[in-house]
Amino acid sequence: MKNVFKPVIYSIFISTIMLSCGSTTGVLSTPVENIDTSPIKESEFTEQEQNTWSHLDLAKDTIPGMSVDKAYKDIIKGKKGQTVIVAVIDSGTDIDHEDLDDVLWTNKDEIPNNGKDDDNNGYVDDIHGWNFLGDAYDEQLEYVRLLASGDKSNPRYAEAEALYKTEYEKYSGYKAQYDQIYQAVVSADDKLKAHFGKADYTKKEVAAIKTEDEALGRAKQVAQFIYSNDIESLAAARKEIKGDLEGINERLNANLNKNLKGRKTGDNPNDLNDKPGYGNNNPRPSRKSESHGTHVTGIIAAERNNGKGMNGVANNVEIMAIRSTPNGDEYDKDVALAIRYAADNGAKVINASFGKSFSPHSDWVRDAIVYAAEKDVLFVHAAGNDSADIDVVKNFPNDAVGTGPEVADNFITVGSLTQNYGSDMVSGFSNYGKVNVDVFAPGSDIYSTMPENEYDLNSGTSMAAPNVAGVAALIRSQYPSLTAAQVKKILMDSGLPIKAKVTVGENKDAKTLSEISTSGKIVNAYNALIMASQVANSK
């Protein structure tokens, strides 16, 4: 599931800077008197708050975090609990990272690198997990694969054609805009560096520029627009926009490319039984830019209090790294087998920060979810980043057909929150749904591990899900007698009920959390552990 970028901000940039005729409109804000009982944070975020906000406490810090720090201080208090295996089904995970290398699951029944399947589980030398993609990286989106197949008898073929046309035109437009924006930012940055004779000029220095030079005046205008959108410098904007451009080009050249042949494993992805054990035993990223799985993993389990980077939500966990998500849409076969692999090898929590709108073999995945439920595995899924109501819009994987009855009671879907308590608390990109989204959790600007011992902020429901998976792992560690279904219920029942209206979707509709999720709550680790203790002790 892709992290989100900022086409809206930069389209405003085009209208205000390039055309000098744009204006922005405000969105509905919740009156202070309607914000439950918690005050709105008015002071600027410190760097420490920004990098740890998802662990902070709403009552104490006026930030809608999950009260993780409070839970460790007041409840866990050094109690280690039982070790819990958490499977991360995602893109590659940097298992050599300084903050992850000590929290890895190791298959003790497998002799490393002897070329044999010692434990007879069908996967040779699977020491820390499995890579269902082999050497593959770029892939098409699922509806592009449908178009490439030419199967016009498929009931969703016409829908796929219409979606392809819309998406191709949209991303072609983004490319034209971003190319123009990038050149404007580079030109402005170069002009200001020449003017000041240095690269590290400040906002204050830019604001003080008084000039009749049209080019320098335009450079100042560009810089001040960038600053106004919480980007610290033109150098940072250059980096961000360049990264977005790379993503746009990947969408056009790979994900929307009908001629791409991305699969490298030699199996038939439409035959669940073809070539068992395909792929290889290396779950690492194929390149540094394949960072999604590493970031997700750090949120759950980065080693706590080791003086490096950041702290994961859960202590005493082991991460099973499963690479099944390419740079494009995952195959249903890979997902179904990855779920079964995790369940068979001892995982008690699965994090699934991926999703798509077409799923030709969704039944395979639902069957695997039921299989995981039978093995008492909790499945935590990211709601998606389309600003859509997924009670209406198709979204996979799911534990039901549409809004029908659930096939299992182990599946929890998570929407994303920002750090800004109030009307804009739900991330603008987050999907929602009264039936199909269960809870909300921090997902915007989450600081976590990146490949090659680096750290960065990323946003997406992909970040919200592992925050919840981490809390689930804490519960299962401290109270191992609780079932996956009980842990799901605790996560939903113990959250903070926010009754104020928030804005959601592309139209910024004002809704309460109870109108856009089943629980109407935001996950809270402190409350969850208290409730877990009560449930466990009542047995």
Q: How many domains does the chain have?
A: 1
Residue 315 falls within a domain, yes or no? yes
Asked whether residue 6 carries a pLDDT value surpassing 60, the answer given is no
What pLDDT shows up at residue 78? 82
The answer to whether position 121 is within a domain reads no
pLDDT at position 521, please? 97
The answer to the question of residue 157 being in a domain is: no
pLDDT of residue 229: 85
pLDDT at 80: 82
Mean pLDDT across 336-344: 98
Report the pLDDT value the prediction gives residue 2, as an integer from 0 to 100. 54
> What's the average model confidence in pLDDT over 202-231?
93
Which is nearest to 374 in space by CA: 410, 345, 346? 410
Is residue 391 within 8 Å of 433, Cβ to Cβ?
A: yes
- 420-437 burial, b at 16+ Cβ within 10 Å, e below that, comes to bbbbbbbbbbbbbbebbb
CB-based contacts of 530, cutoff 8 Å, min separation 6 = 75, 494
Confidence of residue 13 (pLDDT cuts 50, 70, 90): low
Angstrom distances, CA of residue 456 to CA of 185, 250, 299, 448? 22, 21, 11, 6
408 within domain boundaries: yes
293 part of a folded domain: yes
Furthest-apart CA atoms within the chain: distance in Å:
78
Is residue 357 assigned to a domain? yes
Residue type, 16: T
The band of 30, judged by pLDDT with boundaries at 50, 70 and 90, is: very low
**CATH code of the domain in which 379 resides:** 3.40.50.200
Roughly what angle, to the nearest 10 degrees, separates helices 484-493 and 461-478?
A: 120
- pLDDT of 492 over the 80 cut: yes
Kindly give the residue spans of alpha helices, DSSP state H, lying in 280-399.
292-301, 332-344, 362-374
CA distance 392 to 402: 8
The CA distances from residue 277 to 121, 123, 344, in Å, are 9, 5, 14
Residue 305 is predicted with a pLDDT of: 94
Q: Domain range for residue 443?
A: 47-105+287-537
pLDDT tops 50 at residue 246: yes
3-state secondary structure of 44: coil
pLDDT at 35: 41
Structure-token pair, residue 58: 């709403």
The answer as to whether 276 is a domain residue is no
- Asked whether the predicted pLDDT for residue 39 surpasses 70, the reply is no
- Going by C-alpha positions, the residue among 123, 163, 169 that lies closest to residue 146 is 163
CB neighbour list of residue 270: distance below 8 Å, 6 or more residues apart: 333, 360, 361
User: CA distances (Å), 400 to each of 182, 246, 395, 525, in order?
Assistant: 43, 35, 11, 27
Tens digits of per-residue pLDDT, 400-417?
Answer: 999 999 999 999 999 999
Cα of 273 vs its chain's centroid, Å: 30
Mean pLDDT, the chain, rounded, equals 92
d(CA 333, CA 420): 39
pLDDT digits (tens, 9 = 90+) for 370-399: 999 999 999 999 999 999 999 999 999 999
Helices (H) and strands (E) in the chain, counts: 16, 13
* Rounded-to-10 torsion of CA 116, 88, 103, 537: -120
Q: What is the pLDDT of residue 45?
A: 85
- Band (pLDDT 50/70/90 cuts) for residue 203 is very high
Out of 3-17, 103-117, 421-435, 524-538, least confident range:
3-17
First-to-last CA distance in the chain? 39
User: What's the CA gap between 67 and 520, in Å, rounded?
Assistant: 18
> What is the pLDDT, as a whole number, of residue 205?
97
- For residue 102, the Cα-to-chain-centroid distance in whole angstroms is 23
Average pLDDT over residues 33-53: 72
Q: Is the dihedral of CA 354, 360, 366, 367 positive or negative?
A: negative
pLDDT for 118? 97
Per-residue pLDDT averaged across 449-475, rounded?
A: 98
Task: Tally the C-alpha atoms within 13 A of residue 110's C-alpha that lie toward its C-beta.
Answer: 22
pLDDT at residue 17 in the model: 55
| Dihedral angle sign, alpha carbons of residues 266, 272, 274, 280 | positive
Q: Does residue 450 belong to any structural domain of this protein?
A: yes
Q: Is 264:135 a contact under the CB 8 Å cutoff?
A: yes
Res 98 pLDDT > 90? yes
At 7 the pLDDT is 55
